[in-house]
């Protein structure tokens, strides 16, 4: 299945599932439709201010089981997974970057800038697809979002790997 079709499935599910998930008092953080081994996984990542528990995941699974069948968006067998974004959540959408302005983030670049591929600092701005990080030494790094292979919340800034 082409990447474009996978993105289309994920965006369609996001659009249809968001109101149902919001009605449960939860936020749909991300949707991913991925192939892992021989299996296709529809992964819904949910959140709420005080954190996600297993009951939240079960509630979303139960609320979406029948609608997903009725929407008929996926033309192959798949498994539904509902999970929390985790502590060092990946930032992938415009609203994630806006929400994390003023917070510590880590990013890994596709190509080195100043002989480095990994940076951590405070996300001081995000506009027009450009992230600006204020690094620990006070300097700033501005990169286009597509230059980063991964951007995560930096909840454990003492650890080096991302």
Q: What is the pLDDT of residues 69-125, one digit of tens each?
A: 999 999 999 999 999 998 889 999 999 999 999 999 999 999 999 999 999 999 999
The span from the CA of 102 to the CA of 98, in Å, is: 9
Coil, strand or helix: which one is 38? coil
3-state helix vs strand vs coil in the chain, percent to 5: 30, 40, 30
> What's the rounded mean pLDDT across residues 22-31?
97
The pLDDT, as a whole number, for residue 2 is 56
The confidence score (pLDDT) of residue 155 equals 78
Q: Which two tokens stand for residue 54?
A: 């297993």
At 33-64, the pLDDT tens digits run 999 999 999 999 999 999 999 999 999 999 99
What is the pTM for the complete model shown?
Answer: 0.81
78: number of CA atoms within 13 Å, CB side? 23
User: pLDDT value at position 162?
Assistant: 44
Q: Which helix (H) or strand (E) holds 47?
A: strand 39-47
Has residue 29 got a pLDDT over 60? yes
Distance of CA 137 to the CA centre of its chain: 28
């Amino acid at each position: 299945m082409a990447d474009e079709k996978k993105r289309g499935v994920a965006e369609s599910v996001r659009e249809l599932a968001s109101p149902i998930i919001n009605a449960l008092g939860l936020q749909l953080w991300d949707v991913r439709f991925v192939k892992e081994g021989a299996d296709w996984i529809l992964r819904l990542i949910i959140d709420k201010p005080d954190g996600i528990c297993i009951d939240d995941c079960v509630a979303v699974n139960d609320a979406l089981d029948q609608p997903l069948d009725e929407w008929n968006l996926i033309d192959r067998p798949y498994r539904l997974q509902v999970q929390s974004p985790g502590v060092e959540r990946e930032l992938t959408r415009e609203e994630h970057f806006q929400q994390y302005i003023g917070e510590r983030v880590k990013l890994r670049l596709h190509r080195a800038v100043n002989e480095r591929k990994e940076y951590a600092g405070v996300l001081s701005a995000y506009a027009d697809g450009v992230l600006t990080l204020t690094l620990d030494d006070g300097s700033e790094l501005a990169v286009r979002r597509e230059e980063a292979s991964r951007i995560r919340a930096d909840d454990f800034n003492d650890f080096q790997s991302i």
